């Protein structure tokens, strides 16, 4: 006959899911960024990486709290988007935009700043594998467990990031 602790330990066995791709949509859908007029698309991509990735759920500061030991299984983090546009002909500034931060570089303080529009920006976290503390073997139950974990990392009163991110459960992809 099994002791109660054996039943509990069996219920808490780890289940491993492989190649988990998590998508967070950045709000608003059309994001305006202020940056030097000489910036090209690759410069804006680098600027977003440098400015935001270290302050989002996959960063060292948050990853352990959000994903536990699975933080060690993060294979890649990056941004994707549908459209990039340099608004150098715009005479009016957008109502809401992200102000340029030169990250302490004072060599080019006199640069003219323009606006850049990014449409449908997404923040992606790719895990090589992800361990869950359950014995669920049903894909729907696994999906719901993963959704609960990743939804908890989106922007809210407790999770404040430099940009607003909302978990997109329809874009969750994994292998059992």
With beta carbons less than 8 A apart as the criterion, state whether 165 and 26 touch: yes
Q: Check pLDDT > 90 for residue 23.
A: yes
Rounded CA gap, 138 and 136, in Å?
6
Residue with the bigger pLDDT between 33 and 138: it is 33
Q: Where are the domains of the chain?
A: 18-175
Beta bridge partners of 26: 165
For residues 68-83, give the mean pLDDT: 97
* pTM for the full predicted model: 0.87
Q: What is the pLDDT of residue 106?
A: 55
């Amino acid at each position: 006959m099994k002791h109660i602790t054996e039943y509990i330990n069996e219920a808490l066995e780890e289940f491993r899911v492989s190649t988990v791709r998590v998508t967070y949509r950045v709000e608003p859908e059309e994001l305006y960024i202020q940056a030097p007029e000489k910036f090209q698309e690759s410069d804006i991509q680098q600027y977003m990486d440098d400015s935001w990735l270290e302050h989002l759920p996959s960063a060292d500061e948050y990853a352990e709290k959000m994903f536990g030991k699975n933080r060690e299984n993060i294979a890649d983090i990056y941004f994707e988007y549908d459209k990039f546009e340099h608004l150098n002909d715009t005479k009016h500034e957008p109502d809401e935009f992200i102000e340029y931060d030169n990250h302490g570089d004072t060599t080019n303080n006199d640069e003219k700043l323009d606006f850049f529009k990014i449409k449908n920006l997404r923040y992606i976290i790719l895990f090589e594998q992800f361990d869950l503390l359950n014995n669920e073997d049903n894909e729907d139950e696994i999906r719901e467990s993963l959704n609960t974990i990743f939804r908890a990392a989106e922007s809210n009163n407790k999770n404040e990031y430099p940009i607003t991110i909302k978990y997109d459960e329809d874009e969750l992809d994994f292998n059992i």
